[in-house]
Homo-oligomer: A and B are copies of this chain.
Amino acid sequence: MDQILSTDLHGRVGYINLPKGKVLTPTLLPVVSPKENIFTPTELYNEYNFNLIITSAYLFYKRYGIPDGSLTIHDILKFPGNVMMDSGAYQILLYGDVDIAPIKSLEIQANLKTDIGVILDVPISSEDSHSIAKKKTLRTLERVNDALDFINSHRDIIWTLPIQGGKNLDLLQFYIERITSQNLHRYFGLFALGSVAPLMSQYDYLNLFSMIYHTRNLLPHNVPLHLFGAGHPMIFPFIVALGCDMFDSAAYILFAKEGRYITSNATYKLESLSEFPCNCPVCLKWTPKELYNADKNTIIENLAKHNLYVSLLELKKIRLAINNGRLWELLELKAKSHPHLYKAFNYIVKNSEKLFWEELTPVTKFVGLKVFDDLSTFRPELTRASRKIHEDYTPTKNKLTIYVISGYVSPIELLSKLEKKDKLSIKFMEADVALFIPFFGLVPLELAESYPFSQFVFSGVISKEKYNEIIQSSVDFVIQKGYKLITIESLEKTELCAMIKHDLLKAFEKANYTISN
């Protein structure tokens, strides 16, 4: 990354400097054909403001042979922006009718003066056994080594390191460790994760997210990460939050050819739409019925245009969410697009290092935290606060007074009422004071008016299981900090607070604590 403007989770808004102008990331690269397109790369540049697209070295070779260097890929595509060339390895795997030698593929890309090139890896298909996947991973490693000389003599191109291993996380890890231990990644200006298309088509977002998580976690962060074949905008915010800066997609065209209309959360057959749920120029001009009755090319062209508008829109929403510190909230919302996505988001949040999510999430934000349910308690703002309190908080007394609050009224508001009462301020002096917030646990008074406790909105919806876990972790905290005497009071006269106080008392009694009144 050449410039980072803002970050949230592992997402980052920034710029990558490329020969034909800098590119705002996270970004989507529309896939174009080197020969024929539904709408032209020039249109992509002028109408949609794309200044980075991707095309295939393999498809070029298949149609035109080895280029002689007289024309650049920009001339051929009539595209004034940046061009990335994919080696086409995956197409070779799928259709396998033409094979090109790894170095030949690099020559094609270099002769065409691509801005970003990719070495020809050996992709893994969904049917590959672990041992075949391992062989392919090793062969890709060989190809990386074989390509180094060529790369070194073509430094005007930004070269991409394909990350192999597929959904076999042990192989992915093995591959990345081999690369980093030999310091091979320094030859490359971009990392790219491949072999994900089979996962997409099977809605296997769980393995997809795990792959991206491990890749981003193991590789240096200063280099942007690309995902080959990201497909549907439904998953864009997730792959960005996991650390992808770029991804390409041909879905806008492929879906259009099948008469399919993409939305932010789903896909519809054109004929199943009574109205277009979109404000893009295509959808304001046409009704579904009119378009359905148009000729085939008109249908494909307009569906593809809409599909691209809606894909681009998702990028804008993501960048805005990162800028405004609300990427987690976008994920919680979008996870409800499909149960498989919800499953995968739950899984990756609960089975990843908390530090991964905290690392690039700002320490303070200008917007209040939205707490919906159990899932929200995994927000990095809360896990970070929890760890810091557990690690850094030092008691000054051996007594602790716990004030229970509902979470519906902010600590600031509650405390402002409290301070007037002298009786309480005496208690404040005799004992350390902490608030108990139902979705979080104990917060020392000193922190109760700072972010994220200063500003949150809580729905009150939390599972009994999570609630009990929070009660128990509060008891554990008190034991760990060596408090001898506990007082529990309620800051609000509500049934809810009375119940929480009761449950806390019970948990402390079970831990043989003396409760004073």
Q: Which residues of A contact B (CB under 8 A)?
A: 13, 265, 268, 272-281, 284, 309-310, 313, 316-317, 319-320, 323-324, 329, 332-333, 336-340, 342-343, 346, 370-374, 457-461, 463-465
Find chain B residues with CB under 8 A from A281 CB: 279, 281, 284
- The answer to whether B277 and A458 have CB atoms under 8 Å apart is no
Name A459's contact: one of B317, B339, B465 (CB within 8 Å): B339
- The answer to whether A333 and B459 have CB atoms under 8 Å apart is no
CB-nearest residue of chain B to A456: B339
Q: Given the known A-B contacts A279-B309, A284-B281, are A370 and B464 also in contact in the complex, defined by CB atoms under 8 Å?
A: no
Q: Given the known A-B contacts A280-B279, A319-B275, A333-B333, are A463 and B461 also in contact in the complex, defined by CB atoms under 8 Å?
A: no
- The answer to whether B333 and A371 have CB atoms under 8 Å apart is no
CB-nearest residue of chain B to A408: B343
* A266 CB to nearest B CB, Å: 8
- The answer to whether B342 and A459 have CB atoms under 8 Å apart is yes
Q: Given the known A-B contacts A372-B339, A463-B463, are A317 and B457 also in contact in the complex, defined by CB atoms under 8 Å?
A: no
CB-nearest residue of chain B to A275: B316
- The answer to whether B336 and A336 have CB atoms under 8 Å apart is yes
Name A465's contact: one of B337, B372, B463 (CB within 8 Å): B463
Find chain B residues with CB under 8 A from A275 CB: 316, 319-320
Find chain B residues with CB under 8 A from A338 CB: 370, 457
CB-nearest residue of chain B to A276: B316
- The answer to whether A343 and B460 have CB atoms under 8 Å apart is yes
Report how far A338 CA is from B371 CA in the complex, Å: 9
- The answer to whether B461 and A464 have CB atoms under 8 Å apart is no
Find chain B residues with CB under 8 A from A277 CB: 313, 316-317, 320
Find chain B residues with CB under 8 A from A324 CB: 268, 272
* A205 CB to nearest B CB, Å: 11
Q: Which of A265, A310, A316, A319 is packed against the most chain B CB atoms within 10 Å?
A: A316
A-B contact pairs, 30 of them (CB 8 A): A268-B324, A272-B324, A274-B319, A275-B316, A275-B319, A275-B320, A277-B313, A277-B316, A277-B317, A278-B279, A278-B313, A279-B280, A279-B281, A279-B313, A281-B281, A336-B336, A336-B372, A338-B457, A339-B370, A339-B371, A339-B372, A339-B458, A340-B457, A342-B459, A343-B460, A343-B461, A346-B459, A346-B461, A463-B463, A465-B465
Report how far A280 CA is from B280 CA in the complex, Å: 6
Q: Given the known A-B contacts A277-B313, A280-B279, are A461 and B333 also in contact in the complex, defined by CB atoms under 8 Å?
A: no
CB-nearest residue of chain B to A369: B339
Find chain B residues with CB under 8 A from A374 CB: 463
CB-nearest residue of chain B to A265: B333
